[in-house]
Chains A and B, each alone.
Chain A
Amino acid sequence: MSRDIDRRAFLKAAGGAAAAATLAGCAADPDETGTGTEGSGTTEAGGDGTEATESGTESEGEGSTLTYARGNDSGTLDPQNTTSGEDVKVTNQVYDQLIMFEPGQTTLREGLATEWNLEGTTVTLTLREGVTFHNGDDFTADDFIATFNRFTNPDYEYYPGDSYVSAYGPFTLGNWIDSVSKDGDYSLTIELNQKYAPFLRNLAMFASSVLSQQAIQELGQELAQNPVGTGPFQFENWDTSNQRIRLSANGDYWGEAPQVDEVVFSAVGSNTTRAQTLDSGGADIIDGIGAQASKIVQDSSNAELVQQAGINVGYMAFNMAKVEAFRETKVRQAISHAIDTQALVENIFKGIAEQASQPIPSNVFGFNDDLSPYEQNLERAQTLLDEAGYGDGFSFELATFKNPRTYNPSPLQAAQLVKSNLAEIGIEVSINQQSFNPFLDYTSAGNHDACFLGWMTDNADPDNFFYALLHPQVADGELTEGQDWVSFDAEGFNTLNVAAWANRDYMTLVEEAQTTYDQTVREEKYKQAAKIAHDEAPWVFMDHAKELRGVANRVSGFVLAPISGPFLNLVSLN
């Protein structure tokens, strides 16, 4: 008896150790987990069997169900409730915007509005007639007004709360709009608080998805589980125990109607397994493909790898507010010359990214063709350091996130490369790795010496890079004469500008471009701004990652879109 107890105690301890080891093993393999920030979830589906019985089992329906597999299940189905790209893939099927992106392009096309005009600070839109929401409600100007109020107005009766609505409310609409009014059911007037060239593109963002006023009033926060839009697919059910969201074709869709009967979004956490699932016929389209998974897709006889340049940027920012050495342009240039970004994209990112030379990639207008990436040149780097008075080197801490992100698929290896490259010119780098969410707090408080970071576009407008990431956005009084950086403590400081860079010429160009409606003039200003950013090097411009999808051979019509999408209404199954 006593012997049994001893053994039991021993085994209990052993079991605990084994469990700990399994967890550790899981966490230690970043390549195996999805890159999204949002997790998977659940809803009332678990308890409610009656509704699901209706659709029952479709043994014949094989050809008409399109399966889209990704790394994580959605966290919410409400576009005003999310900042996660994982969630947006689903909401983009259910919801439309007033103005929309051309599939596979960065240009705009008609959405729920058929005509629009931006003049001065006034936007007028003519709305499409005869469109109905999935709940049968007619789409009118009141729906957009309710959508806008719910997202940005805390005094609105149906405002769902500060922790419910996402930061995209002010970021996309609220910060720029003075008022929204209607003239009849199908005409909208939006007054802006300043001239703002990217505004029409903001209306095309997922965050500007148009909700039904009736649904807003009836469902409130339940819209997170039960979306009601005008889009090509309508919501059927969210089977959280199987991490699946089922959508059915909206036969009354005003645009190009879906060619499949239903779409199922499923989640497979491991990149490798997801690729294997595609290869063995368990999925039709997959995303979130790393280097290893892309090889499986390439080798597959049942599927092919589709790729396209993405609209994103990965960089290493110098915190000029904190590190004195980084205030010297020559030091920043020296480091840019010391880091081998070519090896980075080719060997570490395995060719799923290309080298960057400026804040925006070549598929965004305003890209400056005359600029090329800093080439690795250690002699030049050393000379620059000498000239700046740092010839004996110095040391700094590089903060990085641990898990892969689209624009930086191997952050830890990339950090190691930086460390060893800079060691060659006498600069000592210590690496501080963190999970993404404490990391964001760390960098937005300016605690880093230098950090990796990156950006995925919101609206494919250059302003969304130049102004959002490298403009301090403080009042003139906060700037110091003759100093091209600003403190993180400055009133109203844009904490996304993790370099704390405040170059007056650059700022003027970007501000002018933001309020210039003449496209040619605007483009020229961004080209000049790009040149300043390149030369002044507030960042080491690292890479622009490609968008990769695995698509089964039986799928046709799939368009890989650098922004918005996936456009699953264009897809058919053979």
Chain B
Amino acid sequence: MVSKRFVLKRLLLLVPVLFGVATLVFAILHLSPGDPARVIAGQRATDAQVAAVRADLGLDDPLWVQYGRYLVDIVTLNLGESYIIQRGTPILTILRARLPVTLELAIYGQVIGILLGIPFGIISAVKQDTLTDHLTRVGALTGISMPIYWTGPLVILLFAQFLNVLPASNRIASQFDPPVYTGLITVDTFVFGLQSGEFAAFVSAASHMLLPAAVIGVYGMALISRMMRSSMLEVIRQDYMRTARAKGQGAKITVMKHGFQNALIPVITVIGIQFGTLLGGAVLTETVFGIGGIGTMLVQAIEVGDYPVVQGTVLVFAFLFTLVNLGVDLTYSYLDPRIDQ
């Protein structure tokens, strides 16, 4: 079983990881060209005005002073305020609004990927080298070979423009202004629907979610089914599987009862790691589908030199990624109690 000590140790490890990330981000931002003061002041500003903005933001202090101030701020959980992206708004407020957007997209994408990928992987393994196997594998290979910036516009063209059955962009139609509880728009509109008996907003939110989630899902499906297949093939050849079959147990039960759970361990690894990647990879999906999660925000913030936004977002990314990995490790020992933490 998982020991408390293990979890505690892993959580403590977060401290050096976050410190390293914070330092790295700070260094990269401050060493690369570009001056947020110039962006804020604009093309019409004189050099004196740019200098005044720089002084006002403390950007003319020596780097080590800025770095020290930054570390103190982090320790006191003060991530600062946005310079440009959302002027004057605390980073924590920004992330609270934006993070659920990306998270929701990643969750739905992952769910679609798992629901399709695992069965495909199993079928493919069980029917190894048959036509079904080949078709599934070609399907998976195609899925993984099509980049999101290509599939995205393709499905928009087909479903939004040509068939006109699904919306092309955003998260909900303009006329709906649903209340915010969790920030996950499908959940919020559903709760609102339960309260008011009016589900139009939920239907709108769900239909907006479908295309981007499917695009992410197909990509995930490909990876998961390939991993599931190879892992399953390995397990099927194990002695205990032969024993089970020799005992006269039915093929289906053998595969599902003895094989599936054991084959799942490497797949969980892939899913966990992919989820972390999804948080970052959502950038493309968000850009193509006009969704304003933290992915698109981070890219914009880097472009304009909104230091506090970049620093805060990357820290939170690192934090989440580490947590997901911890979650994956904990799942191992649940699936296979022999794996002692």
B interface footprint on A286-324 (CB within 8 Å = 1, 0 otherwise): 000000000000000000000000000000000000000
Report if A58-B88 is in contact (Cβ < 8 Å); known contacts: A37-B304, A276-B157, A277-B290: no
Is residue B142 contacting chain A, with contact meaning CB distance below 8 A?
no
Is residue B175 contacting chain A, with contact meaning CB distance below 8 A?
yes
Q: Are B179 and A281 in contact (CB under 8 A)?
A: no
Those of A11-32 within 8 Å (CB) of chain B: 11-12, 15-16, 18-19, 22-23, 25-27, 29, 32
Q: Are B284 and A57 in contact (CB under 8 A)?
A: no
Residue numbers in A under 8 Å from B270 (CB-CB): 11
Is residue A168 contacting chain B, with contact meaning CB distance below 8 A?
yes
Is residue B339 contacting chain A, with contact meaning CB distance below 8 A?
yes
Residue numbers in A under 8 Å from B300 (CB-CB): 39-40, 72
Closest residue on chain A to residue B309 by CB atoms? A39
Q: Which of B35, B40, B289 has the most CB of A within 10 A?
A: B40
In the bound assembly, the distance between CA atoms of A382 and B266 in angstroms comes to: 69
Q: Are B180 and A46 in contact (CB under 8 A)?
A: yes
In the bound assembly, the distance between CA atoms of A171 and B44 in angstroms comes to: 7
**In-complex Cβ contact of A273 among B33, B88, B168, B178 (8 A):** B168
Q: Are A15 and B161 in contact (CB under 8 A)?
A: no
In the bound assembly, the distance between CA atoms of A455 and B44 in angstroms comes to: 10
Residue numbers in A under 8 Å from B37 (CB-CB): 163
A interface footprint on B157-176 (CB within 8 Å = 1, 0 otherwise): 10011001001111111111
Is residue A356 contacting chain B, with contact meaning CB distance below 8 A?
no
Residue numbers in A under 8 Å from B174 (CB-CB): 65, 67, 244, 264, 266, 282-283
Is residue A45 contacting chain B, with contact meaning CB distance below 8 A?
yes
Is residue A62 contacting chain B, with contact meaning CB distance below 8 A?
yes
- For chain B, the count of residues having a C-beta within 8 Å of the partner chain is 97
Q: Which of B101, B153, B290, B297 has the most CB of A within 10 A?
A: B290
Tell me if B's interface is mostly helix, strand, loop or mixed. helix
Closest residue on chain B to residue A246 by CB atoms? B177
Residue numbers in A under 8 Å from B286 (CB-CB): 269
Is residue A505 contacting chain B, with contact meaning CB distance below 8 A?
no
Residue numbers in B under 8 Å from A280 (CB-CB): 160-161, 164, 167-168
B interface footprint on A152-170 (CB within 8 Å = 1, 0 otherwise): 0000000001111011101
Q: Are B153 and A273 in contact (CB under 8 A)?
A: yes
Binds B, one of A233-241, A338-346, A366-374, A512-520: A233-241
**In-complex Cβ contact of A15 among B87, B180, B273, B296 (8 A):** B273
Report if A22-B283 is in contact (Cβ < 8 Å); known contacts: A162-B56, A272-B153: yes
Q: Are A15 and B276 in contact (CB under 8 A)?
A: yes
Those of B273-313 within 8 Å (CB) of chain A: 273-274, 276-277, 280-281, 283-284, 286-290, 292, 296-297, 299-301, 303-306
Residue numbers in A under 8 Å from B119 (CB-CB): none
Binds A, one of B71-79, B90-98, B124-132, B249-257: B90-98
Binds B, one of A89-97, A189-197, A437-445, A557-565: A437-445
Q: Are A1 and B339 in contact (CB under 8 A)?
A: yes
In the bound assembly, the distance between CA atoms of A270 and B89 in angstroms comes to: 25
Those of B44-66 within 8 Å (CB) of chain A: 44-47, 49-50, 52-53, 55-57
Is residue A202 contacting chain B, with contact meaning CB distance below 8 A?
no
Q: Are A58 and B175 in contact (CB under 8 A)?
A: yes
CB distance from B150 to the nearest CB of A (A): 10
Q: Are A39 and B85 in contact (CB under 8 A)?
A: yes
Q: Are B164 and A11 in contact (CB under 8 A)?
A: no
B interface footprint on A451-476 (CB within 8 Å = 1, 0 otherwise): 00001001000000000000000000
**In-complex Cβ contact of A4 among B41, B53, B266, B301 (8 A):** B266
Residue numbers in B under 8 Å from A170 (CB-CB): 49
Those of A236-261 within 8 Å (CB) of chain B: 237, 239-244, 246
In the bound assembly, the distance between CA atoms of A171 and B34 in angstroms comes to: 23
Is residue B243 contacting chain A, with contact meaning CB distance below 8 A?
no
Q: Are B178 and A40 in contact (CB under 8 A)?
A: no
Q: Are B180 and A45 in contact (CB under 8 A)?
A: yes
In the bound assembly, the distance between CA atoms of A358 and B230 in angstroms comes to: 68
In the bound assembly, the distance between CA atoms of A272 and B305 in angstroms comes to: 26
Q: Which of A39, A167, A246 has the most CB of B within 10 A?
A: A39
Q: Are B175 and A47 in contact (CB under 8 A)?
A: no
Is residue B20 contacting chain A, with contact meaning CB distance below 8 A?
no
Q: Are B280 and A8 in contact (CB under 8 A)?
A: no
Q: Which of A50, A57, A240, A273 has the most CB of B within 10 A?
A: A57
CB distance from A294 to the nearest CB of B (A): 15
Residue numbers in B under 8 Å from A441 (CB-CB): 35, 38, 50
A interface footprint on B197-210 (CB within 8 Å = 1, 0 otherwise): 01011000000000
Report if A26-B287 is in contact (Cβ < 8 Å); known contacts: A41-B85, A47-B180, A61-B175: yes
**In-complex Cβ contact of A76 among B87, B175, B183, B287 (8 A):** B87
A sample of 6 inter-chain contacts (CB < 8 A) reads: A4-B269, A41-B82, A46-B93, A167-B49, A269-B290, A437-B304
Residues of B within 8 A of A (CB): 33-47, 49-50, 52-53, 55-57, 82, 84-89, 93-94, 96-98, 100-101, 147-149, 152-153, 156-157, 160-161, 164, 167-181, 183, 185, 189, 192, 196, 198, 200-201, 265-266, 269-270, 273-274, 276-277, 280-281, 283-284, 286-290, 292, 296-297, 299-301, 303-306, 339
Assuming A42-B93, A43-B93, A268-B170, what are 11 further A-B pairs, CB within 8 angstroms? A4-B265, A23-B299, A42-B97, A45-B180, A52-B177, A58-B176, A67-B174, A83-B40, A240-B86, A276-B156, A282-B167
